[in-house]
Amino acid sequence: MYTSTLRLFRLLSGFVICLLLTPAAAAATPSAGEVPLPYRAEEVTFTNLTLNARLSGMLTVPPGTGPFPTVLLLSDSGPQDRDGTVGDFAPLGLLADYLTRRGMAVLRFDDRGAGKSVGPAATTTAELVSDAQAALNYLRTRPETDLAHLGLVGHGEGGNVALLAAAQPLSPVFVVALAASGLPGQELVLQQQAATLRLVGSDAAQIEVATKRQQALLEIIRQTPDNAQAQAIVANILKQNNAAVDDATAQSSAAEMTSARYRYFLAFNPLEKLTTINCPVLLLNGTADLTIDADANLGALSRGLKLNKNVTVKKLAGVNHLFQADPAKWPVVGGQPQPTFSPEAQEAIRQWVMDQVKK
């Protein structure tokens, strides 16, 4: 028996994320004995030649001859499997199933270092853009793909990857960014920390002290390019800030916080190059997202895309970072509430994509 639990995760130490972990949701691929899916599911592989990475995934295709409107799903930060699984919840698998049942071909793939994909671990968002481009090129070889309606749907960092890909040559025809960041990395860290502290009941004075402390720590990382020196300083600060932190934990955390990927994240400005995006864009966020604040990040992205005349911005009440619906709306199965990918979010994505197809 499971219960829904609010857990706090640290991503690359200090990058605090609040996620709602839940019982396992239905997978988009049937197990033995289950009713067959009403569409074709095919294991596929393709190569990112630039980075010598072999990527594996699942292409789901509606019944019929096609070609079909086609979307490529991109996962949130860190090596994730093709379903974007966090805990027992698989948002990309559920979204792929929903869209394929309603007439779209969908490709989702394992990130490098996850599932069946192999290749050097990604350290920057730009490297992830090259994976997305490789996947798009693969889809362009498939007869099921409607080349005039081939787009990207990215979640979290995947949303930023999708936007950056749209600023490159041979871009997708449209982009859906789910809970993408609009704030620079360092600013986002501070906002996430403040949101977490408010969640656990800290008052304004406590939040201000913690924010100044974290800001100083991040500034030290930025101004100390020598990793050995930076790690020593950060480890010492972590121990001074929390007497319960032992040497091994402090050293490990300091190493992560001075890693190439985390340094890149802190300096990353998601608004760069947005002015060059001309394709239709849907920006979607939930009001219960504790990782990517809807108002701050949607506002920043909207400003970055102000030259684009085909941008749709939508906030979904009660939806969290994983795009789970408000728990009060979960169906009860076997006496237990079961998490769902927000039906409102799924339909908003489907309807917007089909609106692009009709144009």
Query: How many alpha carbons lie under 13 Å from residue 105 in its C-beta half-sphere?
Result: 24
- Residue 357 is encoded by which pair of tokens? 């197809």
DSSP classification of residue 192:
H
User: What average pLDDT score do residues 326-338 get?
Assistant: 87
| Contact yes or no for 53/120 (Cβ under 8 A) | yes
The answer, yes or no, to whether residue 30 has pLDDT greater than 50, is no
pLDDT over threshold 60, residue 25 = no
* H or E element at residue 117: none
* CB neighbours of residue 259 within 10 Å: 16
pLDDT of residue 197: 87
- The 10s digit of each residue's pLDDT in 231-269 is 899 888 888 888 888 888 888 888 888 988 889 999 999
- How far apart, in whole angstroms, are the C-alpha atoms of residue 301 and residue 345? 19
Residue 104 is predicted with a pLDDT of 98
Q: Rounded mean pLDDT of 329-334?
A: 86
Quick one: pLDDT band at residue 35, thresholds 50, 70, 90?
low
Q: What is the pLDDT of residue 119?
A: 87
- Tens-place pLDDT, residues 91-142: 999 999 999 999 999 999 999 989 999 988 777 888 899 999 999 999 999 9
What pLDDT is recorded for position 34? 62
Interacting residues of 35 by C-beta distance below 8 A, sequence separation 6+: none
* 194 touches 171 (CB < 8 A): no
pLDDT at 20 (0 to 100): 39
CA 86, chain centre distance (Å): 11
Nearest to 142 by CA among 45, 237, 55, 231: 45
Contact 206, 171 (CB under 8 A): no
Contacts (Cβ under 8 Å, ≥6 apart) of 69: 103, 104, 105, 146, 149, 150, 151, 353, 354, 357
How confident is residue 1, by pLDDT bands cut at 50, 70 and 90?
A: very low
Q: Domain locations in the chain?
A: 5-184+271-358, 199-267
Q: What is the mean pLDDT of residues 81-94?
A: 94
pLDDT of residue 295: 96
CA neighbor of 97 nearest in space, from 147, 165, 35, 143:
35
Q: DSSP letters along 277-324, please?
A: --S-EEEEEETT-SSS-HHHHHHHHHHHTTT-S-EEEEEETT--TT-B
Q: With beta carbons less than 8 A apart as the criterion, state whether 15 and 265 touch.
A: yes
Whether 32 has a pLDDT exceeding 90, the answer reads no
152-174 mean pLDDT: 96
The strand pairing partners of 108, in sequence order, are: 58, 73
Q: Please return the burial class of 266, using the count of CB atoms within 10 Å of its CB with bins 0-12, 13-18 and 19+.
A: buried
Sort residue 318 into left (φ over 0), alpha (ψ -120 to 50) or beta. left
* 8 Å CB contact between 318 and 286: yes
The dihedral formed by the CA atoms of 343, 346, 349 and 351, expressed in degrees to the nearest 10: -60
Query: CA-CA distances (angstroms) from residue 211 to 116, 251, 354?
Result: 40, 22, 43
- Between 197 and 155, whose confidence is greater? 155
Residue-averaged pLDDT of the chain: 87
Look at 275 and 335; give whichever has higher pLDDT.
275
What residues does 15 pair with on adjacent strands?
A: 11
Closest CA to 209 of 224, 222, 190: 190
pLDDT tens-place string over residues 285-323 = 999 998 999 999 999 999 999 999 999 999 999 999 999
Give the pLDDT band of residue 88 (cuts 50, 70, 90).
confident
Predicted pLDDT at 285 = 97
Whether residue 67 has a cis bond before it, omega within 30° of 0? yes
Q: Smallest Cα–Cα separation from 136: which of 162, 111, 113, 102?
A: 162
- Is 5-184+271-358 assigned to CATH 3.40.50.1820? yes
Tokens of 204: 């304004």
Most confidently modeled range among 47-56, 215-224, 344-353: 344-353
142, 65 Cβ separation under 8 angstroms: no
Q: How far apart are CA 343 and CA 267, in angstroms?
A: 35
DSSP H helices in 224-293: 227-241, 247-257, 260-267
67 or 242, greater pLDDT:
67
- pTM for the complete prediction? 0.87
How confident is residue 47, by pLDDT bands cut at 50, 70 and 90?
very high
Stretch 41-70: mean pLDDT:
94
Token pair recorded at residue 224: 């100390």
**Cα 155 to Cα 159: distance, rounded to the nearest angstrom:** 5
